[in-house]
Amino acid sequence: MTDSTVAIAPDWNALRARFPLLRRQCFMNSCSYGLLSDSVEAAYLEYLADRHAHGSHWDAWIGRYEALRGDVARLLGCTADEIAVTGSASAGINAVASAMTFDQDRDKVVITDLEFPTNAQIWYAQEARGATVERVVANGNTSLLERLADVIDERTRIVAVTHVCYRNGEKLDVAAIAQLARAKGAHVLIDGFQAIGTMPIDMTTLDCDFYVGGTLKYLLSSAGVAFLYARSATTAALQPTATGWFAQEDIGAMDARAHHPAASARRFEGGTPPIPNVYAARAGLAIVEEIGLAAIGERIAGLTASIANHAHAAGIPMATPDEPTRRGAMVALRSHDAPAMVAALHEANIVTSSRDGNVRLSPHFYNEEGDVERVFHAIGCHRALML
């Protein structure tokens, strides 16, 4: 019997046509900001039309905000009650940090040298509340996982690590890290901003307590909307002190005499959500859901492999691990003057970015092999900046 449910491959050319900037630029910077699609632009215009038509359209706005919670839950394979909608990843991490207690029995916060600044700075700020931050650096022949195993102990309150490093595209084995933390009774927070939207991610198998991300990169929307997954088994025992009226059990109660946090992950929220960005976020997520994360992940893996192959052929060293399983959606090329190379590429109408002395190339599903070839042709014209 033939299988009639064989998946139809996405029409990548048709999808690419939905992003107007690609008609005039080669865009390889989704790790900084995803491209604006026709449907996301239309969503912003729909918000403006609603404002002009209704003025205050509160019930409809709250309906979209709750629908966004469901969209994110489907993306992460969890329940809507486990998703808090926030204005930024920082807001989500701050809410989690405010719920942590630090005493002589459990005062340690474990981070790594691969973190985006906010996921380090927020935890260092907790030192004023009694936390002790230990920053793990992989060195020599010792893997990061081995170093973490040496540091995570019974004093550890929380382990907060990135899923994919923003500087070099290294993908961590976050499931193994979560197992290390759980074995010592510690909470686990994963910063997934550079991972979400590029690969299938399932909270039921990842087994972390918290996972933060946002919509401005690979989820194709804009700044102003982020989210926090809070594992239901963990959430009920935590009381964030960074809070607001949308964190209350009954938002409509308007009770200024007490604090009644929601039983769900909404207890990690704050004030009024950014409604225009909620419109846009839902439109961006709809594109990702339409294509499917498995297809997107396969497409990106092919493009990053091509980037790695071109780099090897050109003799350009990578800061990103060579093993495909340890790479995220970004490949970082070493340069002795990365800002100058980024500027030179921009002159050639190619958008990239730099961090930590590396030129970052971060394709998404809307890129194609021709984009990779164009980038390396331009790099070849300025080879002296790389070697």
Q: Are residues 283 and 300 in the same domain?
A: no
Reported as a single tens digit per residue, the pLDDT across 304-348 is 999 999 999 999 999 999 999 999 999 999 999 999 999 999 999
Q: Are residues 214 and 335 in the same domain?
A: no
Q: Are residues 322 and 249 in the same domain?
A: no
Q: Are residues 258 and 345 in the same domain?
A: no
Q: Are residues 268 and 123 in the same domain?
A: yes
Q: Are residues 306 and 279 in the same domain?
A: no
Please compute the mean of the pLDDT values over residues 97-110 and round it to a whole number: 96
Reported as a single tens digit per residue, the pLDDT across 187-234 is 999 999 999 999 999 999 998 999 999 999 999 998 999 999 999 998
End-of-domain residue from the set 289, 311, 344? 289
- Give the integer Cα–Cα distance in Å for 367 and 345: 16
**pLDDT value, residue 387:** 78
Q: Are residues 282 and 304 in the same domain?
A: no
pTM: 0.95
Q: Is 124 helix (H, G, I), strand (E, B) or coil?
A: helix
CATH at residue 87: 3.40.640.10
Q: Decide if pLDDT at 361 tops 70.
A: yes
Reported as a single tens digit per residue, the pLDDT across 123-157 is 999 999 999 999 999 876 569 999 999 999 999 99
43 domain-assigned: no
Give residue 7's pLDDT band: very low, low, confident or very high (50, 70, 90).
Answer: low
CATH at residue 24: 3.90.1150.10
Q: Are residues 277 and 298 in the same domain?
A: no
Contacts of 7 (CB under 8 A, 6+ apart): 292, 295
DSSP assignment of 248-274: BS-GGG--SS---B-SSGGGG--SS--
Q: Are residues 200 and 340 in the same domain?
A: no
Q: How many domains, the chain?
A: 2
> Residue 130 sits in which domain range?
57-289
Question: Percentage of the chain surpassing pLDDT 70?
Answer: 97
Q: Are residues 89 and 217 in the same domain?
A: yes
358 domain-assigned: yes
Q: Are residues 137 and 29 in the same domain?
A: no
- Give the integer Cα–Cα distance in Å for 260 and 386: 57
